[in-house]
Amino acid sequence: MTKLLGITQSTPNDWKLTELGWIFSLAIFFLGASSAVFGRWVEEGGPRKAMLTAALCWAGGFFLSAIGVYTHILWLIYIGYGFIGGCALGIGYISPVSTLIKWFPDRPGMATGMAIMGFGGGAFIAAPLSVWLMGKFSSATHVGVAETFIVLGCVYFFFMIVGAIIVRVPPPGWAPEGYVAPAASQKLITKNDVFVYDAVKTPQFWLIWWVLCLNVTAGIGVLGQASAMSQEMFPGHITPVAAAGFVGLMSLFNMGGRFCWATVSDYIGRRNTYFVFMVLGFVLYCTVPHAGSIGSVALFVGCFLIIISMYGGGFSTVPAYLKDMFGTRYVGAIHGLLLTAWSMAGIFGPVIVNYLRAYNITHGVPKAQAYNNTMYIMAGLLVIGFICNFLVKAVAERYHMKANDPRAHDQAVAGAKA
């Protein structure tokens, strides 16, 4: 990024790359933590209050980060972007999911696909906009990061506030014209609700937690290393510029996969969709080393584009999976708790890829083959994910909320107050 802006030399006061890496790690950690902690509040308080909070925290985090950059105090950025911004990410991520599920009872997968696709789509706007803004604000003495943070904070705040103002929750029992809900419960689609803290007591929650964690671990590891991996596996064929194009293409498939796979899950079922992720992912991960050995860039690129579409699809299908298992009422809060799997995968994935690559290279494996073992390990993780998904059965009746459950009354009172 800095080279892109024309900076070629560092100064003694520059922050180290490892120190800066903590900003993103903290943001992802607090995304998972805040969605788990505030999930029930988001569900009971309603999406408007949650989106307003997310907008204030997100913009506030950017402004604090701008001060941190301006005064050259790194811990202000840790707090601003990492902690406050991370909490905003968690609250903002889960707040539209249950709302959209309620608007589309006939197509819950498509609904969650749209919500989660929006989160991925933001990167398409933020990345080029940030570069453009820094180009506008840069001068001979500074790169304009603080000003960029301020402008981005204002733009985000405006868009998020508009979203918070126009968001609506449908009345209970709402259905689109002509839609008639199936009279009988399907085997893996419940018509009952499970209370958020009862859901974590079920084996289904933890099985789906592992399914998501393993699917994301496999995807996130290669996503972060895609550029370096493609250049090292095809030296001379994939240049740094082409590798950047490859990463861009991957992000498009990541976003498209979120909508397409989640929509497909409405037709073939959530469990079957994850079976496709695990089986197809296994085949593709095993094919990547072969693509490297025969020098087929097209096969390599094709494999990774499908893999990354399923990585995105895993994120977007999971809320609908939870809705099928635990009902609509607490799906946002349960989804929030499940996102701790993302935090965990965010640590596991890159560590596996980076550690194995370094281990192979120090043991004399050529760079072009250094990722082969990693691919087979990722394929192995998907086998475990397949087993976890296979073990998912309908939630036992004892966990279903009863009509006179006092916790349901509490929620209604809280919702009315909001």
Partner 1 sequence: MANSTQTDSSMTIKLILAWGFVGIPLVWGVLQTLANAMKLFH
- Residues contributing to the site for partner 1 (CB under 8 A): 118, 121, 123-129, 159, 162, 166, 238, 241-246, 248-249, 251-252, 301
* Phi and psi angles of residue 170, each rounded to the nearest 5 degrees, phi first: -70, 155
How many CA atoms lie within 13 Å of 38's alpha carbon, on the beta-carbon side? Answer: 25
Closest approach, Cβ 128 to partner 1, in A, equals: 4
Rounded CA separation 195/331 (Å): 9
Compare residues 1 and 123 and give the one whose CB is closer to partner 1: 123
Compare residues 5 and 283 and give the one whose CB is closer to partner 1: 5
Residues 131, 199 contacting (CB under 8 angstroms): no
Rounded CA separation 55/235 (Å): 44
Neighbours of 299 (CB within 10 A): 16
Closest approach, Cβ 106 to partner 1, in A, equals: 19
Closest approach, Cβ 58 to partner 1, in A, equals: 16
Compare residues 131 and 414 and give the one whose CB is closer to partner 1: 131
Compare residues 244 and 413 and give the one whose CB is closer to partner 1: 244
Rounded CA separation 297/105 (Å): 42
Closest approach, Cβ 248 to partner 1, in A, equals: 4
Compare residues 249 and 347 and give the one whose CB is closer to partner 1: 249
Compare residues 105 and 118 and give the one whose CB is closer to partner 1: 118
DSSP state letters, 60-71: HHHHHHHHHHHH
Closest approach, Cβ 411 to partner 1, in A, equals: 29
Structure token pair of residue 65: 């980060």
Compare residues 33 and 110 and give the one whose CB is closer to partner 1: 110
Q: For residue 154, what are the CA distances in angstroms to 53, 159, 161?
A: 15, 9, 11
Place of tokens 């240049």: 239
Closest approach, Cβ 120 to partner 1, in A, equals: 10
* DSSP for residue 301: H
Neighbours of 385 (CB within 10 A): 27
Closest approach, Cβ 224 to partner 1, in A, equals: 17
CA angle 302, 300, 290 (to 5 degrees): 130
